[in-house]
Structures are given as C-alpha cells and as structure tokens.
Amino acid sequence: MENLKEKTVPNRIDTLLQYLPEIVLGLLIAGLIFIFDQTQLQEIWRFDRYLFSDQPLLALGHALVHLNAYHLALNITALLCLYLLFTSAFKSLWWLAALMASAAASAYGVFYYSPDTDWLVGLSGALHGLFVYAVLRSRSNLLWIVAVVIKLAIEQNADFFSANGIPQLTEHLINNTVIVDAHLWGAAGGLAFFFIARSISTLFVIIELNRE
C-alpha cells in the first residue's frame, strides 16, 4: 500500500510538470482578466516615458494592462491562436521567457527610438515577438515570418494607407492609436531571444557531450 502511494505522488508531479506550460498560459490569461478589473493599475503599470528610467519594471508592467475590453479580448485571442498554431513551441516555459523578453524589447525600443510616444499599454508588442519565436521554435513554415514582416512593413507605412482611405480596423476597435513601433521592436526582441535561447541550449549540449 505504501509503495502504491509512493508511486502515485511522483506520477501526479510528472503530470503537473507535463502540463505546466499550459497551466502557466491559463494563469496568465486569468491574471490579465483580473488586472483589467483593477482600474488603479492602468496608471501605475503603463509605460510612461517620463517615469520609465526610474521604474524599469514598466517594461513588463505595460504589457499587463489594456485600454478596454476589446483591446484585452484581441490580445487574449491572439495569444490563444499562437498556442493553437504553434503548440510545440509551448512545450516548455521558454515561451513565457520569450514573451517577457519581447515585452521588454518593445518598451525599450519605443523609449529609445519613438520619442513621440509618451505612453503605451497592452500585450501586442510582446505577442509579435512571441509569434516570431514560436514560428522558429516549432520549425514551422517560414512563410509565417514573411507574413509578419509584411504586416510590420504595412504598419510602418500606415500613414500612406490612411491617406488613401483605407481604415485602420484595430484603431477603430480599441478607440485609440495603435503604437506600431511597439510591434516592430517586440518582433525584434522575439527574434533575438530565439537565437539567444538556441545558443544557450547548444552550449548545454556541448557541455554534456564533453562530460561524457
């Protein structure tokens, strides 16, 4: 009987570890919804150019707060779509590290290279980075990368499309300006993180081989 109990506990732990990335994904989504109801966090956690140097944690905090329910719903939907499309990239918690790195890259990119942007909220910049990471990590068709590059190029030339009468649907939904530079720097952060993570993994493999 004792042996049975001893075997059951490790089995439960193994099962928990097996589904840990999905559990973390669910907790993240639940956290985003909970934070959305905490209106006081909107001002405290958003990226603010004039506070950023003294509060670097805003590089992550800004990704957790959203303008409105449409903004939150769009980002949660995008996150779930990434999971469904590139499930193999979510088999470890590297995806969470990629999301955080992309959020930070997005904030720092805006801080240094988009001086006209005073404030920023939302997960979309980080999601662009996670998209790039997930495509490369899951070894999916590189046409996905081409698609995101085209999207970023279109966003960087949004003034041209607006001038020619092409409406910006996302801006209409969230009732605010989309900070497209955040998408650009987030994607760059995801790309950089993938190669850093792969280099670290390769280094560990080399160390293990040398030990043998």
CA nearest 186: which of 198, 175, 178, 174?
178
* Least confident residue range of 57-71, 96-110, 193-207: 193-207
**Average pLDDT, integer, range 67-75:** 94
- pLDDT at residue 166, as a whole number: 46
CA 170: distance to chain centroid?
A: 18
The type of residue at 109 is G
Name the token pair of 50.
């004039």
Whole-number percent of the chain with pLDDT over 70: 83
**Arithmetic mean of pLDDT, 115-140:** 96
d(Cα 210, Cα 212) in Å, to the nearest integer?
A: 5
40-44, 126-130, 187-191: the lowest-pLDDT one:
40-44
pLDDT value, residue 174? 62
Q: In CATH, what number does 2-211 get?
A: 1.20.1540.10
Q: What is the pLDDT of residue 97?
A: 97
pLDDT tens track for 21-59: 899 999 999 999 999 999 888 889 999 999 999 999 999
Farthest CA pair distance, the chain: 75
Question: What CA–CA distances, in Å, run from 175 to 10, 24, 104?
Answer: 50, 30, 25
Read off the tokens for 202: 């390769």
Taking the complete model, does pTM exceed 0.95, yes or no?
Answer: no
pLDDT at 204: 77
Tell me which long-range contacts 143-149 makes (C-beta under 8 A, separation of at least 24): 148/187
- The predicted pLDDT at position 118 comes to 94
* 182 has pLDDT over 80: yes
Distances (CA, A) of 83 to 78, 135, 170: 9, 11, 22
Q: Name the residue with higher pLDDT: 204 or 54.
A: 54
Average pLDDT over the chain, rounded to an integer: 87
More confident residue, 98 or 170: 98
DSSP code string of 170-188: HHHHHTS---HHHHHHHHH
pLDDT for res 8:
53
Predicted confidence at residue 22, as pLDDT, reads 92
pLDDT higher at 126 or 212:
126
Higher pLDDT, 147 or 4: 147
Confidence band (pLDDT; 50, 70, 90) for 113? Answer: very high
Residues pairing with 86 in the sheet: none
Is residue 93 within a helix (H) or strand (E), and if so which, with residue range? none
